[in-house]
Amino acid sequence: MEKGVQRWIIDISKWNPSSNDFSFALSLLPQTHHSSITRFVKMEDRKRALVSLLLQYTLIHEVLGIPYPDIVINRTLEGKPFLECGRFCFDFPNFNFNVSHHGDYVAIASEPLCLVGLDIVNFMIPEKETVPEYIQNFSSYFSSSEWDRIISVGNNEEVLAEFYRYWCLKEAYVKAIGSGLAYGLHKVEFHHTNWTSISVKVDGVTNQQWRFWLFDLDKGHSVSIARGHPRLAIESYKRSLKRTKFNEEEYNVGLHLPNPRFVLRTVEELISVIHKAKRSC
């Protein structure tokens, strides 16, 4: 099942397409996705949305071997993308994926059995507020234990980084279960040892059916991965999953699969793969 565990990331600051190059990349995607990209006014936002979809189609084509015209990606009511497996996906019991983009990076993660949540944060420095004023706006989303750790970690730069790392984990969790940020983030409390051995309490109860990883991509970005049990997904997302019931032995195999390092891909690689896949059909 390890082939179903993928971690890809792209630094979009290195892709500066001409208008023709951008239009060509956009034309490779199904027409149904175009408005979700062109609705953005800023080119940087359009780039993130486009690259996110290129990652999804390329990963599904390469990992699952699905012919490009047969790939159908939809979204739940809450906005989580999922693959309409149809007659495909037989190699994995519960293939699913998640995407994230913030700052310079766009990434995708997939799992063959467990739920997967992915989030990237860019340590943006507030412009019109001090760091304490800025993070105070979000204090209700954190437990008292988390908040104490954030505000006591050190200087303002360290406080801001600590805040974003906790936020990154919370987003990965809610994205994994498919709820979006409507879920009560204050009910999800993280514990860690120097950002390793990360565990979660939900409504005050430690949940052993989750694993989490958090990495610093560079000085200004962090990325987190959440891996959890499919039965914990919200109902609307469960309907998109192939299976949600696994016995303990089956689930532990998926839960303890290796978590690989992110592979750095380029936009040009994705465009080439999809272009060839379309021409071969």
Q: pLDDT by residue (tens digit) across 61-117? A: 999 999 999 999 999 988 899 998 766 666 788 999 999 999 899 999 999 999 999
DSSP summary character for residue 220: T
Candidates 208, 190, 207, 183; CA nearest to 146 is: 190
Helices (H), 86-227: 131-136, 144-151, 156-177
Q: Which pLDDT score is estimated for 130? A: 94
- SS3 of 5, please? coil
Q: Which pLDDT score is estimated for 271? A: 97
Q: Dihedral of the CA atoms 128, 129, 131, 134 (nearest 10)?
A: -110
Handedness of CA 113, 238, 213, 50 (dihedral sign): positive
The single residue listed with the structure tokens 């993070």 is: 135
Please give the chain's pLDDT, 281 residues, in tens.
Answer: 899 999 999 999 999 999 999 999 999 999 999 999 999 999 999 999 999 999 999 999 999 999 999 999 999 988 899 998 766 666 788 999 999 999 899 999 999 999 999 999 999 888 889 999 999 999 999 999 999 999 999 999 999 999 999 999 999 999 999 997 656 788 899 999 999 999 999 999 999 999 999 999 988 899 999 999 999 999 999 999 989 999 999 999 999 999 999 999 999 999 999 999 988 87
177: left (phi > 0), else alpha (psi -120 to 50), else beta? alpha
Tokens of 42: 């800023």
Q: Which pLDDT score is estimated for 181? A: 65
Q: CB of 11 within 8 A of CB of 104?
A: yes
CA distance 67 to 232: 31
- SS3 of 138, please? coil
Q: CB of 213 within 8 A of CB of 207?
A: no
Residues 6+ apart with CB under 8 A from 122: 102, 103, 104, 105, 164, 220, 221
Domain locations in the chain as residue ranges: 2-280
**What pLDDT digit, counting tens, does each position of 182-195 carry?**
567 888 999 999 99
The structural architecture, per CATH, of the domain 2-280 is Alpha-Beta Complex (3.90)
Instruction: Annotate 10-55 with three-state secondary structure.
Output: EEHHHCCCCHHHHHHHHHCCCHHHHHHHHCCCCHHHHHHHHHHHHH
* % residues pLDDT > 90 (the chain): 86
Helices (H), the chain: 19-27, 34-38, 43-64, 131-136, 144-151, 156-177, 235-238, 248-255, 267-279
Q: Which pLDDT score is estimated for 84? A: 87
